Amino acid sequence: MIQFVFGSQWGDEGKGKLVDYLAADADYVVRFHGGNNAGHTVIVGEKRYPFHLLPSGILNPKAIGVIANGVIVDLEVLLEEINNLAKDGYLLKNKLLISPRCHLIMPYHKALDEAYENARGKNKLGTTRRGIGPTFADKVSYNGLRMYELLDWKGFVEKFTFQAKIKNKILKLFGVKPISVKKELVKLAEHRKTILPYVREVYPVLQKAQNDNKKILLEGAHGVMLDIDWSPYPYSTGSNIIRGAINTGAGLPVSRINRSWAVVKAYLSRVGGGPLPSEFFGKTADQIRERGKEFGTTTGRPRRIGWLDLEAVKFTTSLAEANRLAITKIDILTSVKEIKVCISYKLNGKKISYVESGYRELAKLTPIYKSFPGWTEPIDKIKKFSRLPKNCRYYLKFIEDFLQIPIFYIGTGPERSQFIKI
């Protein structure tokens, strides 16, 4: 059984919590794209675990965590995550595999991300400044360094020094302080020792797992609206987010995926710049932001708030071939008097689809809304769909009918146990 979880909006839909739930009986939990721009939260009792690189399902004692080749890795961030889990008794020895094909996010990538963002001034994109774009750029221009290079330290030092010297020249052009090659190499030498025991080719492991009918759970990062090809570029992130990325990023055949879970937040949020047709402001937006704790898991930035955009989600769920919906954070809409949903777009009086709109059109078009009456009853302890307030059920049914994909999970709170299974 292979399951795939992906974000159907602009990220932070609640993927981490769903992955943690689905991982309860998984044999392998796999990240296959993106980097530590991802921030996936799992809450266990009083403890909050923000996962950036480790798969969010790793808390499950049975599951082996896999960081497959499509992921780009900042060693410092990964080691911090491993150490934080160890403090709570989650030991990853023999429980984590990292592909030697993963590209490394280097200190100069972070410096370049920062320098580009600062230089863009008012046109900044709002990246997480984690070095994501520059690392993927180096990967496709053959200037990247893979985890594999760490196996031969002498060779690594030579390649790192060559790249760092060139990047330092670019940083100088930006008027930014260059990185210290010597100091960074001292840190990298330390990180290397700790990370190498986890590094091995994961392809045969995942192939055997699928041949043995093991349960494999693939954790998408970000939201499809940020996909490098299908987003309103350049308001994007550096990787592909759709099913096809599983084939390139983990070597698994997409035809073998049984369940494709689209995580749909009952409203939407976005961090970073770019057009967001259903964005709204004011008291209700502020209330949703506060109650929904809509502040970036990675950067802490306040998230922009919008109504659920079904025109966009219709596109992403079709592109990613979703066959199951997980609706999250419906509890946050309790007490919102009038809930709106964007059902189509109009530009100059004519209908226009999401896929036909570039960033200029998305910024100008008019979202067409359908309004729903809200409910006031708290729903965070409800365990059965039939017990939800009538208006809430009506809202959920509308989403299901509109997208023509069945709902299998409804998130009713941030805690592990707060959900309705259908």
Question: CA 325, 396, 305: angle at the middle one, nearest 5?
Answer: 85
What residues have CB less than 8 Å from 186, skipping those under 6 apart?
none
Considering only 3, 4, 8, 15, the residue that binds ligand GDP (CB under 6 A) is 15
Give the total of residues touching ligand GDP (CB under 6 A). Answer: 22
- Please give the Cα distance from 14 to 11 (Å, whole number): 8
Exposed / middle / buried, residue 131 (Cβ in 10 Å: 0-12, 13-18, 19+): buried
219 binds Mg ion (CB under 5 A): no
- Please give the Cα distance from 95 to 29 (Å, whole number): 10
**Which residue of the chain is nearest ligand IMO when measured via CB?**
272
Mark residues 246-285: x for contact with ligand IMO by CB under 6 A, - for none.
-------------------------xx-------------
Complex with ligand GDP: residue 192 or 265, whichever CB lies closer: 265
12 binds Mg ion (CB under 5 A): yes
Exposed / middle / buried, residue 193 (Cβ in 10 Å: 0-12, 13-18, 19+): exposed
Binding segment toward ligand GDP, per CB under 6 A, in 10-18, 176-184, 193-201, 386-394: 10-18
Pair of tokens at residue 173:
């052009």
Pair of tokens at residue 383:
């365990």
Mark residues 168-207: x for contact with ligand IMO by CB under 6 A, - for none.
----------------------------------------
Asked if residue 303 belongs to a known ligand binding site, the reply is: yes
Asked if residue 16 belongs to a known ligand binding site, the reply is: yes
User: Residue 230 CB, nearest distance to ligand GDP (Å)?
Assistant: 18
Considering only 329, 340, 365, 379, the residue that binds ligand GDP (CB under 6 A) is 329
414 binds ligand GDP (CB under 6 A): yes
The 3-state secondary structure of 77-112 reads: HHHHHHHHHHHCCCCCCCCEEECCCCEECCHHHHHH
Count of H-run helices and E-run strands, the chain:
12, 19
Binding segment toward ligand IMO, per CB under 6 A, in 162-170, 177-185, 216-224, 311-319: 216-224
Taking CB under 6 A as the criterion, which residues in 315-334 touch ligand IMO?
Answer: none
The residue from 20, 33, 40, 227 that is catalytic is: 40
191 is catalytic: no
- Please give the Cα distance from 242 to 70 (Å, whole number): 12
Question: CA 172, 173, 177: angle at the middle one, nearest 5?
Answer: 25
297 binds Mg ion (CB under 5 A): yes
Complex with ligand IMO: residue 23 or 209, whichever CB lies closer: 23
74 is catalytic: no
Active site residues: 12, 40
**Given the rule CB under 6 A, which residues bind ligand GDP?**
7, 11-17, 39-41, 43, 293, 297, 328-329, 331-332, 411-414
